[in-house]
Chain A
Amino acid sequence: MQNLQAQDVLTSGPPLGPPFIDIPVPLGKVVAEYRIEASSAITYPVKAGQYIQIIDVEGSQCSDFLAFAGEHYQEELDSTVTRTLLGMAMPQAGLHSKYFSQTMQPLVEVVQDTCGRHDSFMLACTNKYYEEAGYFDHPSCSDNFNQALAPYAIAPRLGWPAINFFFSTEVDESGAITSTEAWSRPGDYVLIKAYQDLLCGSSACPDDIDPINGWHPTPIHVRIYAAEENFLSAIGRRSAPEIPLRLTQDSAFTPRVRSLTQNLAEYNSFWVPMSYVHQGDQAEYWALRERVALMDLSALRKFEVIGPDALALLQWTFSRNVAKLAIGQSAYGCLLNPHGGMIDDGIVFRLGELAYRYVGNCDTDELWLRKVAKEKSFVVTIENSSDRIHNLALQGPQSRELLRSLIKIDNEWAVSDLNELKFFRFDTGNIENIPILLSRTGYTGELGYELFVRPNQGARLWDVLMREGEPYGLLPLGMQALDRARIEAGLLASGREFNDLISPYQAGIGWSVGLKTKPDFVGRAALEKLKERPPFVGVGLLLERTEVACGGLCVYPVGDRWRVGQVTSGTFSPVLNRSIALAQIAPEYAETGTALEVAMLDGIKRRIRAEVGPLSLYDPTKSRVRA
């Protein structure tokens, strides 16, 4: 590329002066940095391999981005090509992270993103936009880019197709593209890696006539980092104002997983495998159903609930009656809110006389437990131990046989042989001197165990289980196969089968509510009424054909035009050789054997007959997990 030599990169930006104190500290070695004043745009060169960090200094500020490659800057970012190649509206850190040019070559890759809300559908703002709103001679990003690009003989355009970082847009059901104030907070950033020598353009959007920049345009800061840096891929997630932004992390097992697959996705702030190379989810699924499979479930959150009132707190917040849990016993249920909605589902383990562990899905569970404890003046400590405990699940009919030869159970437990460890019981022990907590629980509908371990011992535990599992045909299992298995087994997924507006009765786990076994608890009054007639009931649907019914599809009585419920999750069940679904159906239509229709596509073109069944269509009596 003309005019872009390595030395230029080192000297083209302003000299590196005193550090800026209004933005986060640099992520690595800065080779150039630029402050883009409000309502302006700049260009800057970047060499292949270098990183560009675009920082929203004050928050709620959009920054449009252009990149040109080639000797005559003839290659440029193409959002349509990018969307088509990725199958996603926007690239994001991880597997689907690259922005492509019109020749289908990658120009940049998103490495880190702490905002997660950007636009690639719209032009950088134009004069036309402002003029049609009655604002003449208003600066625009496109015009600012035209001026900044003029020295490079890049022809001006009325509107530049750009990556509009921090620009919050959404396509609604009518097809309209709506925009709102940027979701970015002060210091939020996008870190992208250059794949070619590039001329880049960045703006600090001047739009002050609508909310997208919070009505007040502010500066943007750009840092360029050396190609020698090796920044880890991460997506920033926020779960509550009180909880710091959380970047996607590896578990203790992820390095081992990465040696077997690059097909990882972000799940609950962890990188998790979707499937393994040369295996695929079908092979992993069958290993689970017929032999034994190993999966990393470290994304679960663990909370230590300890103290004289630990039991009282759990009795008040958790749906199950856990008063009679023996040490070494656990129970599945959910955390409830006052209107009977499910905050989270999880398992309470009784570890000691006054010590319990709650294993769930959300960082915010800790906040809820603390809040309730404070309101009730309970004497109890709640500590998030997720970073100290990672966990594998070893599941499948041969899991016990495999573990029996490996596990040495600690002497203090009544159980000395794995055969005696019953469903929802746990003990501690070691595998090749690796201390573990071994729990007979799982999320697959098969006989299986979960192994909790210190992260610094995790890789070794993985190695032992993979090595010793080989004669049993063990395969590591990814999330795609796990999703098939859990839908077959009628096991709930947060955000699909339940949320904080859905009661346990609607989700299909009304059996986990201790209305008869404990006097009072959060949500009891609401649940007493909901139990009589929940608006919907969780069921399984066995479809007559093999076409998969996606979550959200509507369910109708045979031949009628009004809905009785909707699908929450669907999959093809290999073991049943049928399409199956979890659905929430009005109670009048939820009896097993009832014939219904799932409306596919637009709801009119095609309906598939389905029969209502138990939530767990595979092994409804749970004989396999209890075996």
Chain B
Amino acid sequence: MANLETTISMNAALSASDARDAGCIFWDFAGVDGLQAAIALFTPAVSHIAPFQSLTATFAAQPCSVLRLCENNFRVAFCKQVAFEAAIAALNLKVWSKPYSAATLVVPTNFGLERLPKIGKTKPVYTLEPFPCDRAVPARIDGVAILAWHHLWGGQPTLHIQTSATNAEIVIQAFS
């Protein structure tokens, strides 16, 4: 699984070399039964969250973070490899699953939350200010599409910036 994950340091003079692997593994699943799969795998509480909101749940006795992308579309962050595909298949629901393989940047949370509104543009229905925990915001940085995800990870508020692998460097530079 391609899993490009980088961390940007708070140092103002950043470069891609400052990045390091933070060990997150992401899976996407979606389909007409996407919500039912999420309820079955995690908690009925997922039906309480709206698109671009997330919650902390457990999977295979490990904590994970579940982000709702649309009515029946979800992304899950795990801290280690899990048999997620098999779990989805065992549900026998109309849902596909695949590893999310684009870039994920880990930005120091306070720095990122302060910097994002300055460099990111959103559609009018979204906002980066405020940007509460367990929320995600689609935005553009220098014309590059990103999904900023502010959520609890390892018990700590974390800011993940997801984008196309080919544009990761542009986003890193924008945070620098």
Residues of A at the B interface (CB closer than 8 Å) are 95, 261-263, 275, 277-283, 286, 545-547, 572, 574, 577
Contacts and interface: CB of A to CB of B under 8 A. Distances in A.
A545 B93 CA distance: 11
A95 B125 contact: yes
B132 interface: yes
Given A282-B50, A283-B49, A262 B124 contact: yes
B43 interface: no
A546 B35 contact: yes
A262 B130 contact: no
A286 B48 contact: yes
Given A278-B130, A280-B50, A577-B39, 18 more contacts: A95-B125, A262-B124, A275-B50, A277-B126, A277-B127, A278-B53, A278-B132, A278-B135, A280-B53, A282-B50, A282-B53, A283-B49, A283-B50, A545-B32, A546-B35, A547-B32, A572-B71, A574-B48
Contacts of A547: 32
Contact of B47 (A275, A278, A279, A574): A574
Contacts of A546: 32-33, 35-36, 72
A281 to B, nearest CB: 6
A278 B134 CA distance: 9
A547 to B, nearest CB: 6
Given A546-B32, A546-B33, A577-B39, A283 B125 contact: no
B124 to A, nearest CB: 4
B117 interface: no
B49 A282 contact: yes
Contacts of A281: 50
A572 B135 CA distance: 22
Given A263-B125, A546-B35, A279 B50 contact: yes
B51 interface: yes
A282 B125 contact: no
B42 interface: no
A577 B53 contact: no
Contacts of A263: 124-125
A227 to B, nearest CB: 20
Nearest to B47: A574
Residue from A262, A281, A545, A546 having most chain B Cβ neighbours under 10 A: A546
A283 B33 contact: no
Contacts of B47: 282, 574, 577
Nearest to A281: B50
Nearest to B39: A577
User: Is chain B's binding surface mostly helix, strand, loop or mixed?
Assistant: loop
Nearest to A97: B124
B111 interface: no
Contacts of A283: 48-50, 53
B27 interface: no
26 contacts: A261-B125, A262-B127, A263-B125, A275-B50, A277-B125, A277-B126, A278-B130, A278-B135, A279-B50, A280-B49, A280-B50, A280-B51, A280-B53, A281-B50, A282-B47, A282-B50, A282-B53, A286-B48, A546-B32, A546-B33, A546-B35, A546-B36, A572-B71, A577-B36, A577-B39, A577-B44
Residue from A95, A277, A281, A572 having most chain B Cβ neighbours under 10 A: A277
A510 B76 CA distance: 49
Nearest to A283: B50
B118 to A, nearest CB: 19
A389 to B, nearest CB: 30
A333 B35 CA distance: 38
- When A and B form their complex, which 5 residue pairs have the shortest distance between CB atoms, in order from nearest? A280-B50, A262-B124, A263-B125, A282-B50, A286-B48
B75 to A, nearest CB: 16
Nearest to A577: B47
B96 interface: no
A239 to B, nearest CB: 29
Nearest to B71: A572
A381 to B, nearest CB: 44
Interface string B146-165: 00000000000000000000
B52 interface: yes
A95 B125 CA distance: 8
A273 to B, nearest CB: 10
Nearest to A547: B32
Contact of B125 (A262, A286, A574): A262
Contacts of A261: 125
Nearest to B72: A546
A283 B55 CA distance: 13
B1 to A, nearest CB: 29
A11 to B, nearest CB: 35
Contact of A95 (B33, B72, B124, B132): B124
Interface string B112-147: 000000000000111100111001000000000000
B76 to A, nearest CB: 18
A457 to B, nearest CB: 28
Nearest to B44: A577
A574 B52 CA distance: 17
Nearest to A481: B50
Contacts of A572: 35, 71
Contacts of A280: 49-53
